[in-house]
Amino acid sequence: MNQYKLDGISTDGKRIVFISESIENIKTGWRAKETYQILGDKEFMETFELAPPNKEFEVCSKVTLERTD
């Protein structure tokens, strides 16, 4: 389980970023980042990134979700 804190929201409100405060079952120093990007009224993209200690984030997964009626 990851616990996140809000890192920022874009000025247009269409991009929200969360950075991990704690991560269970992983070595100390690792960080996780979740980014949500609103692409349209029925679509958004979720990007999940991980960073080992003292390294930059790398994308692990990127998913586009679309609501159907």
User: 41-66, pLDDT tens digit by residue?
Assistant: 999 999 999 999 999 999 999 999 99
The structure tokens 């980014």 sit at 35
Residue 69 has pLDDT above 90, yes or no: no
Domain membership of residue 38 (yes or no) is no
Structural domain harbouring 14: 2-33+43-66
Domain membership of residue 52 (yes or no) is yes
Domain membership of residue 6 (yes or no) is yes
What is the model's pLDDT at position 35?
98
What is the model's pLDDT at position 9?
98
* Domains identified in the chain, total number: 1
Overall average pLDDT of the 8-22 stretch:
97
Output the pTM of the full model.
0.89
